[in-house]
Structure 1
Amino acid sequence: MRRASGGIRRAAAIVAGHWGMATVASVDRQRLHDDLERVRADLHQIVAAAGARELRRRSNGTRWTNGQLLWHMVFGFLIVSRLLPLVRLFGRLPDGLSRAFAAVLDAGTRPFHSVNYLGSVGGALVFRGPRLTRRLDHTIARLHRRLDAESAEALGRRMHFPLGWDPFFRDTMTLADVYAYGMQHYDFHRKQLTIDG
């Protein structure tokens, strides 16, 4: 996805409004667990209902087909799994270190978006049908276990993020925000699918 335009940022803000920016006091673990399960059930339903023609159809607002976008939506949860250790690490370090790290990543925004696009094109060739749903099942099960093991202190740790990489990234995000990001990303792209029903 290219650098987010004002319109995409506004649409992302509407989806993000479901969660808002989490604080340690307001984190509702059960809500996170419930939303993870909602996404898992939704993807199973979509994959079971979508025919080959629909998967090859262009999505609305992206260069991806529906099949490629479905993999991108699942990949968002794999990204969450990779971000969690980073937030745990940088959340213990001086703020300036994660700010510098985010600045370095922001400098690579253009190549990131090219890799992001091509990764979903290639990933959809491997992850489709039952293999796609199994990948999400495995990832969400791991996120459930990690979420249960997080302390309140850990959920409040935060780091800076590269704003150019994703419309749901904020200047600073807590560990709880990163868990919620997976659902925000999924729900935003869910509306871009052009699969009947």
Structure 2
Amino acid sequence: MTDQQPVDRAAIAADLERARRTLHELLDTACATDLDRRSHGTRWTNEQLLFHMVFGYMVVRRLRVLVRVFSRLPDRVGQLLARVLDAAAPVFHEINYRGSCLAATVFDRHRMGRHCDRVIAALQRSLAKETDANLRRSMAFPGRWDPFFTNVMTLEQVYRYPGKHFDFHREQLTLE
């Protein structure tokens, strides 16, 4: 028997919902001029940065699968993958930048909110089905890819990651 505390799914779910609502508030109050303005400390416009913030949630859907797979493999396999990915960090950062620029033309100010709603709803459904044992599974991560990635992350931390990412970038928006 283990003395671990149950994972606080309600707190994770509330944070997902908070970000969803915040995104809608930002989109609803921003005018075209605001969205076209450069953000602070990034190469993105506010609209591109907002998409990048949503993209953080999209990534979690894929990371869940990776954690489930790699947590069942020997640790050295995941560590090797993390080292390879860390070595490719400069390429990743350029793709991340350009990908968000391009994707924001599809998931623009008119579509982004609905897309975020669908992504977060899917995360909410999967979170509700996760067992505590699954949420405690972990794998090595490429720590150089994102300031909120650690060298090893549990599935619970992966679910919590996009809220930190969202809040960090929220401070870089230059919306009036």
- Tell me the TM-score normalised to structure 2 length: 0.96
- Which whole-Å CA distance do the structure 2 matches of 1:89 and 1:150 have between them? 15
**Deviation of 1:150 (Å):** 0.5
**Deviation of 1:107 (Å):** 1.3
- Which whole-Å CA distance do the structure 1 matches of 2:119 and 2:24 have between them? 14
Question: Do the aligned residues in 1 keep the contact of 2:6 with 2:132 (CA within 8 Å)?
Answer: no
Q: 1:141 aligns with which of 102, 121, 146?
A: 121
**Deviation of 1:26 (Å):** 5.6
Q: Would you say 1:119 and 2:113 are equivalent positions?
A: no
User: Any unmatched runs of 5+ in structure 2?
Assistant: none
- Which whole-Å CA distance do the structure 1 matches of 2:149 and 2:121 have between them? 24
Alignment of 1:31-46 (within 5 A): 31-46=11-26
Q: How many residues align?
A: 173
- Which whole-Å CA distance do the structure 2 matches of 1:78 and 1:144 have between them? 12
1:134-185 CA distance string (max 9 Å, x none):
1100000000010011011100000000111100010100000000001010
**Deviation of 1:117 (Å):** 0.5
- Which whole-Å CA distance do the structure 2 matches of 1:185 and 1:30 have between them? 19
Query: Which amino acid letter does the alignment assign opposite residue 32 of structure 1?
Result: I
Match of 1:161 in 2: 141
Question: Do the aligned residues in 1 keep the contact of 2:136 with 2:154 (CA within 8 Å)?
Answer: yes
Alignment of 1:74-153 (within 5 A): 74-153=54-133
Q: Would you say 1:69 and 2:49 are equivalent positions?
A: yes
Q: Would you say 1:175 and 2:155 are equivalent positions?
A: yes
Q: Would you say 1:189 and 2:169 are equivalent positions?
A: yes
- Which whole-Å CA distance do the structure 2 matches of 1:75 and 1:38 have between them? 16
User: Any unmatched runs of 5+ in structure 1?
Assistant: 1-23
- Which whole-Å CA distance do the structure 2 matches of 1:39 and 1:168 have between them? 16
Aligned-residue Cα RMSD (Å) equals 1.0
Q: Runs ≥4 in structure 1, deviation > 4 angstroms?
A: none
- Tell me the TM-score normalised to structure 1 length: 0.86
